[in-house]
Amino acid sequence: MAVKLELYRVFRTVAEKGSISAAAEALYISQSAVSQSIRQLEEQLQIRLFSRSPRGVILTREGQLLLEYVGRALSLIENGEEKLQQVRELAAGELTIGASDTVTKTYLLPKLEAFHKAYPDIRIRILNGTTKMVLDYLRAGQVDVAFASEMQDESAYAVRRCLDTHMLFVASPEYPCDFARAYSLEEMAAFPLILLERKASSRLYLERFFRERGVEIEPEIELGSHNLLISLARIGLGVACVTEEFSQSGLSRGVILPLKTDFVIPPRAVVMCTLRGVSPTAAAARFMDFVAE
């Protein structure tokens, strides 16, 4: 039996006020509309809910029983509506971001700090992973926004470009190489290379670039952290391929130096992705504006 929710709202108000006129005033509707709603509810439920008294109306025993359940149900609905309003106004809610640890530390950190200061009641969660992993998180609904470098199926995502990144070969200033000359692909591949692990999108991009030009690369050391690439290059264990934009601290201090090349690796973009056709939450939409700004 379907009963309109508004009839229950009128029923509760009449029960609380004990008067048709007082309920009408509280609900901003006419007394006749209140009376009609109660009659309609009684007809649908096939039971009498109120009896008249000199002071107004009082609940029958059946009406008291119904009020216990209706009161709890409407309170839950109203609490839910209030929570939704808080979420819309960014006074509550959750934001889950998928990004690599390097992008999180070197690009997102100041934006996360500013967002948290502006909206301290939004709970922020971050799932770290490679580009493939964070896009898998996005497709599975585990994150609201993913930051990626390369996508297999761009049609599945709504994408905003954040920044371009450039790959750079670096070594310690004491490393036995000539920082003044430009190395070829073959010469660079002959160095003991320090690279990210094979599943990293930047590693796959680098290997593809070399392979398309007839050169295979075999790293001496494979790592899961961009910071470790810089650390191991700094102590002279080999030549590391790093992202220039994420290596400014070491480059500016001179603890690593760039090697010149006679080839140019095309830049890659860090992009901000959401699922196409799925509206982001209020928190996610506002955070994306923070990033875009």
Beta-carbon contacts of 194 under 8 Å, excluding residues fewer than 6 positions away, are 219, 220, 221, 223, 229, 232, 233, 237, 238, 239, 240, 241
Type of residue numbered 67: L
Set out the domains of the chain in order of their start, with CATH numbers. 5-88 (1.10.10.10), 94-162+270-292 (3.40.190.10), 167-266 (3.40.190.10)
The residues facing 126 across adjacent strands are 97
pTM: 0.66
- As a whole number of angstroms, the distance between CA 179 and CA 67 comes to 83
Q: Each residue of 92-135: pLDDT tens digit?
A: 788 999 999 889 988 999 999 999 999 998 899 999 988 889 99
Across-strand partners of 221? 194
Give me the torsion for CA of 288, 83, 1, 59, rounded to 10°: -160
Over residues 162-220, the pLDDT tens digits come to 999 999 999 999 999 999 999 999 999 999 999 999 888 899 999 999 999 999 999 99
How far does CA 43 lie from the centroid of its chain?
Answer: 49
Tell me the HSE value of 227 on the side-chain side, using a 13 A CA sphere: 8
